[in-house]
Amino acid sequence: MLITRSISSAKAAGGNGVAKPQLTSMVDMLTILLVFLLKSFSMEGNLVTASSDLVLPESTSMEQPVPELMVEITLGGVKLDGALIAPLADFAAADSLMIPGLYSELRTLAEDEGLGEEENKVTIQCDESLDFSIVKRVMFTCAQASFSDFSLLVRRGEG
Amino acid sequence: MNMFIILIPFLVSMAVFSHLSVLQFSLPSDGNTGRVEDPQELPLTVAMTSRELAVTRGDLILATVPNVESGYDFSRLVAALIALTDGGARLDNITIAIDDEILFSEIVACMDHCREAGFIDVGLANGTNLARHGTEGGDDADH
ipTM: 0.73
Residue A73 confidence (pLDDT) above 90: yes
* Band (B134; pLDDT cuts 50, 70, 90): very low
More confident residue, A62 or B39: A62
**B21:A155 CB<8 A:** yes
**Nearest alpha carbon to residue A129 among A72, A74, A88:** A74
β-bridge partners, A60: none
β-bridge partners, A77: A87
Quote the pLDDT of residue A118. 75
**B12:A151 CB<8 A:** no
CA closest to B19 among chain A residues: A156
**B21:A156 CB<8 A:** yes
First to last CA, chain B: 68
**B21:A59 CB<8 A:** yes
A129 has a chain B CB within 8 A of its CB: yes
Q: What number of CA atoms fall less than 13 Å from residue A6's CA on the CB side?
A: 9
* Band (B136; pLDDT cuts 50, 70, 90): very low
> Domain extents for chain A?
2-40, 58-156
Question: Do residues A69 and B42 touch, judged by C-beta distance below 8 A?
Answer: no
Sheet holding B60-66, edge to edge: B60-66, B52-57, B44-48, B93-98, B121-126
Q: In angstroms, rounded to a whole number, what is the distance separating the alpha carbons of residues B143 and A94?
A: 42
Q: In angstroms, rounded to a whole number, what is the distance separating the alpha carbons of residues A51 and A82?
A: 8
Torsional sign, CA B65, B71, B72, B76: negative
Quote the pLDDT of residue B37. 58
**What are the pLDDT digits (tens) for B4-50?**
778 777 777 766 666 788 888 877 665 445 555 566 677 888 999 99
Mean of the pLDDT values across residues A20-28? 81
Q: In angstroms, rounded to a whole number, what is the distance separating the alpha carbons of residues B82 and B114?
A: 10
**B108:A133 CB<8 A:** no
First to last CA, chain A: 43
> What structural domains and CATH numbers belong to chain B?
21-133 (3.30.420)
Residue among A152, A153, A155, A156 with most chain B CBs within 10 A, to mutate? A152
Quote the Cα angle for A140-A142-A147, to 5°: 130
Q: Taking a contact as any Cβ pair under 8 Å apart, which residues of chain B between 39 and 98 contact chain A?
A: 98
**A150:B112 CB<8 A:** no
Q: In angstroms, rounded to a whole number, what is the distance separating the alpha carbons of residues B28 and B45?
A: 11
Instruction: Name the region of B59 (left: φ>0; alpha: ψ -120 to 50; beta: rest).
Output: alpha
A56 has a chain B CB within 8 A of its CB: yes
Could you say which of B20, B22, B103 has the minimum Cβ distance to residue A129? B103
Chain B CB contacts of A153 below 8 Å: 20-22
User: Helices (H) and strands (E) in chain B — how many of each?
Assistant: 4, 6
**What are the pLDDT digits (tens) for A95-104?**
888 899 999 9
Could you say which of A38, A41, A131 has the minimum Cβ distance to residue B102? A131
